[in-house]
Amino acid sequence: MKPNLLVARPIFEEVLARLREHFNVTDNQADHAWTLDEWKAQLSQHAGALTTGADPINKDVLAVCPQLKAVANMAVGFNNFDVPAMTAHGVQASNTPDVLTETTADFGFALLMATARRLTESEHFLRRGEWKQWRYDMFAGAEVHGSTLGILGMGRIGQGIAKRGAHGFGMKVIYHNRSRLSAAQEAECKARYVSKEELLRSADHVVLVLPYSAESHHAMGAAELAQMKPTATLVNIARGGIVDDAALAQALRNRTIAAAGLDVFEGEPKVHPDLLTVPNVVLTPHIASASIATRMAMANLAADNLISFFTQGRAITPLNTLGA
């Protein structure tokens, strides 16, 4: 008998077809926004689930889902998972690392450039019909080539951004991470390890690529923003909650920093209203990995994790190890 599987959000029909070969699938192709109670009720009827970063798997959810055996997150981040609780309940957790690294690094660098060169501000100016003549200082932004790139969080995506900056734009790369890279990795990225404080003081462009956790909550708040250069930019492609969005909006309004580019937000899809009223910010709706090829690869890896668990007893890219 096929296990029951819940697919929490719309995915590619081709991937659903693959899953239906192995599971009795309940899908949400209509993209119904379940309440927490509806989510619990849906999930409680299934042995497996394919989730996104918006779908919580925590103690309260697990308590009403005794049938649940495996959950595959279609994302590299997994702050929606309480992994220790999942392990305690005997539930396999998995994510989709590696397949989105290069596409996300591409987008991170694109957002950095759009922020530095004031693309959003200048496009809105043009669309409003305000462009009447050329001026030497019209939307003059910050240099990217040859500037100092500071990366907080130097995992695969951070390293990808570092290589683009160092090798493609001649940037001086500095980074801070929980653990220092090997000498070979630093050489490949042309990156130098520094303290967080030195990074904030020295960087012309700060890019956040660190995972979200209780420790990294509001890792960029008013105090940290005040340490940055007034000419510097901040880019967040990591997770909402790492930046204190209210403090950032105030810093942008006060020109404590020059500009910001954000792909993620606290409480998304809601966006702090103050961020919508400042001109010097580029806002995108969590699309850093959004190429068709990459999203297909993410969906297929999530499906492979579920198929592998229910046929072989272990996910391909597990986040936890279950007892024998």
Catalytic site residues?
A: 239, 268, 286
**Rounded Cα distance, 213 and 200, in Å:** 20
- Measured between alpha carbons, how far is residue 292 from residues 12, 28, 282 in Å? 10, 20, 23
Q: What number of residues does the chain have?
A: 324
For residue 151, list its beta bridge partners: 175, 207
Give the position of tokens 């998304």: 268
Give the start-end residues of each E strand in the chain: 4-7, 24-26, 48-51, 70-73, 92-94, 148-152, 172-176, 191-193, 205-208, 233-236, 259-262, 281-283
Structure tokens given for 108: 């991170």
CA atoms within 13 A on the CB side of 249: 14
Q: Would you call the peptide bond into 84 cis, given omega within 30 degrees of 0 as the criterion?
A: no
61 DSSP assignment = H
H helix intervals, 269-318: 292-312
**Rounded Cα distance, 66 and 90, in Å:** 10
**Rounded Cα distance, 294 and 289, in Å:** 7
- State whether residue 282 is helix, strand or coil: strand
Task: Specify the amino acid at residue 150.
Answer: G
2 close to 22: Cβ distance less than 8 angstroms: yes
**Rounded Cα distance, 193 and 204, in Å:** 16
**Rounded Cα distance, 116 and 280, in Å:** 10
Phi, psi of 205 (to 5 degrees): -140, 125
Structure tokens given for 151: 């990366």
